[in-house]
Amino acid sequence: MTDLQDTAKAVNSAFENAINAFKNNKDKSAPATSSAGDDLLSLQPPHNIEIERALLASLMSIDESFEKVDSIIRDEDFYGERHKHIFRAITHLSRVNQPYDSLMVHDYLSAQNLLNAAGGEEYLMQINQSPATLFNLVPYAERVREFSVYRQLIKAANNMLNLAYHPKKQTVSEILDTVEADIFRINENYTSGVGKQGAQNIVDILQNVVVQLDELKKRDGSMIGLATPFEELNNKTQGLQKGDMVVVAARPSMGKTTFAMNLAESVLMQGLPVVVFSMEMPAESIVTRMLSSLGQINQTNLRSGNMSEQEWAQFSTAVTMLQDKHLYVDARNNLPPTEVRSTCRRIAKNHEGGLGMVIIDYLQLMKVPGMENNRVGEIGEISRSLKALAREMNCPVVALSQLNRSLENRPNKRPVMSDLRESGAIEQDADLIMFIYRDEVYNKDKADNKGFAEIIIGKQRNGPIGTVPLRFEGQFTRFANFIAGGYMPEDYEDDE
């Protein structure tokens, strides 16, 4: 079999060649030829027939062996066509609770007129002579699956070459979407199978629970998640948890972006990387807000450059606080989930401990190619992708979200779960949902409600719901801890 390093080298060369072709191919009637693409196509697809035979021999020789590989491989993962038929027979017999030894597989294939397609009786006997091993069963299955993914990647690369050399009526964006979707689909299929643990018995689960509780005991009451800048919010949530999808929702002008950036500042000051996808404002505006918050500089003065001597000193301090932190801002519009994920992966690879937080500003500005006419379905796909991203990156993914305009028509305008725009999937996927409400936005004539904000926890998968009072310091683009004895609206309900 061809060395996989040669295959990988050819795939990489093909990708580079395709990109260059896209830039330089002016004459559509006489496209350039691709030596890299030709090299790729001439290579024998990655596979290992002996491993496939040994895997099939083990399955047909060892009782209850199929259950160990059922979640790892599928029939299409086999390179040999004969092997696909044999594995399908084993799969079927297992599903109907029948033995799947070589005799039963032979009978099933004969009954389905597939024995010749599977290589015939003689080939089944040859496979039976391959060494059977329970110890190597799972590694064999994983290796077969890996070779299958290599072949899928090569096929996707070849498709990209064809699209790049012969774009026809497709735009660059459409071709990029197609290629990206191909790779995303391969990745989704792979990560949903290999390495995923199925049902666990109670002994293993209890052991994990005991270990987790022992770790909590050692913390002696300290935060188990990422601390936010807000003490009472930390008390209610125990911090933002790794792998959680956190939704922050509010009507316009309530301070969604400000609140999210305050969370980001806190994570950055803990020495962790933060990735912000800002689809509503440029990267410079995001950083300016952070400088205003960290330096407590009036944002109007900061934006105009008309600052006092003291403010310039505070500005210098804020710059120093940020300049060595690992903040990444992606300000592209209408990003699809695939691009968000690939960007996070690229950045995470450069940080040994991974990412500390990902922020999406905001969820409804993301797009899924091909789903433009199904908005509810599109939001559902975006929501599921962000939850999957949180689990893959093992960090909180904070997604800002709009609320339905209809809440403006009721007397009490505090948000509730049903106010989430296209809410079904978001409500289901989110681990923590927080609403921001500031009474002063609706009741501007009241003098005593200025600066009072409420963070309403509408859902918390592993904790209580309730309301956290905060102060809003708009001039500094920041929220702050509420000062005891300060103003609270008459209709404010403390859940304590």
Judged by average pLDDT, the poorest of 139-143, 236-240, 422-426, 434-438 is: 422-426
Which percentage of the chain shows pLDDT scores above 90? 28
User: pLDDT of 319-364, one tens digit each?
Assistant: 999 889 999 999 988 888 888 888 888 898 888 888 999 999 888 8
Which pLDDT belongs to residue 104?
Answer: 92
DSSP assignment of 428-456 equals HH-SEEEEEE-HHHH-TT-STTTTEEEEE
Q: How far apart are CA 422 and CA 402, in angstroms?
A: 9
- The angle subtended at Cα 332 by Cα 441 and Cα 434, nearest 5°, is 35
Domain with CATH 1.10.860.10 in the chain: 1-195
Write the single-letter amino acid at 34. S
SS3 147: helix
Which pLDDT belongs to residue 233?
Answer: 92
427 pLDDT higher than 60:
yes
419 pLDDT higher than 90:
no
User: pLDDT of 205-217, one tens digit each?
Assistant: 788 788 878 877 7
Beta strand pairing call for 245-249 and 397-401: parallel
Q: How far is CA 339 from CA 78, 80, 115, in A?
A: 30, 34, 46
Q: How far apart are CA 128 and CA 110, in angstroms?
A: 17
Enclosing H/E stretch for 125 = helix 120-128
196 pLDDT higher than 60:
no
487 pLDDT higher than 70:
no
Q: How far apart are CA 320 and CA 303, in angstroms?
A: 18
Higher pLDDT residue, 488 or 117? 117
Upstream peptide bond of 140 is cis (omega within 30 degrees of 0): no
User: pLDDT of 249-278, one tens digit each?
Assistant: 998 888 899 999 999 999 999 999 999 999
Q: Identify each DSSP E strand in 128-209 by its residue range.
A: none
Average pLDDT rounded to a whole number, residues 378-389: 88
Enclosing H/E stretch for 343 = helix 337-348
229 pLDDT higher than 70:
yes
180 pLDDT higher than 80:
no
Average pLDDT rounded to a whole number, residues 368-372: 77
DSSP assignment of 238-304 equals SSBPTT-EEEEE--TTS-HHHHHHHHHHHHHHTT--EEEEESSS-HHHHHHHHHHHHHT--HHHHHH
User: pLDDT of 68-101, one tens digit each?
Assistant: 888 888 899 999 999 999 999 999 998 888 899 9
Q: How far apart are CA 102 and CA 108, in angstroms?
A: 10
Q: How far apart are CA 360 and CA 382, in angstroms?
A: 11
What's the pTM? 0.64
The DSSP output letter for 466 is: E
Which pLDDT belongs to residue 482?
Answer: 85
Q: Is the CB of residue 360 less than 8 Å from the CB of residue 399?
A: yes
Average pLDDT rounded to a whole number, residues 295-304: 88
Q: Is the CB of residue 244 less than 8 Å from the CB of residue 203?
A: no
Choices 1.10.860.10, 3.30.70.890, 1.10.238.10, 1.10.1060.10: CATH for 1-195: 1.10.860.10
| Domain 219-481, CATH class in plain words | alpha beta
Residue with tokens 């500031």: 438
User: pLDDT of 16-74, one tens digit each?
Assistant: 554 454 444 434 433 444 444 555 556 788 999 999 999 999 999 988 888 888 888 88
What distance separates the 2 farthest-apart alpha carbons in the chain?
91
Beta strand pairing call for 466-473 and 397-401: unpaired
Domain with CATH 3.40.50.300 in the chain: 219-481
Look up residue 20 and give its two tokens: 């260059």
Which pLDDT belongs to residue 245?
Answer: 93
Beta bridge partners of 227: none
Q: How far apart are the first and last CA of the chain?
A: 68
Which pLDDT belongs to residue 2?
Answer: 44
Average pLDDT rounded to a whole number, residues 160-182: 82
The CB-side HSE value for 190 (13 A sphere, CA atoms) comes to 18
Q: Is the CB of residue 145 less than 8 Å from the CB of residue 47?
A: no
Q: How confident is the model at residue 377 (pLDDT cuts 50, 70, 90)?
A: confident
Which pLDDT belongs to residue 195?
Answer: 46
Write the single-letter amino acid at 183. I
Average pLDDT rounded to a whole number, residues 278-298: 90
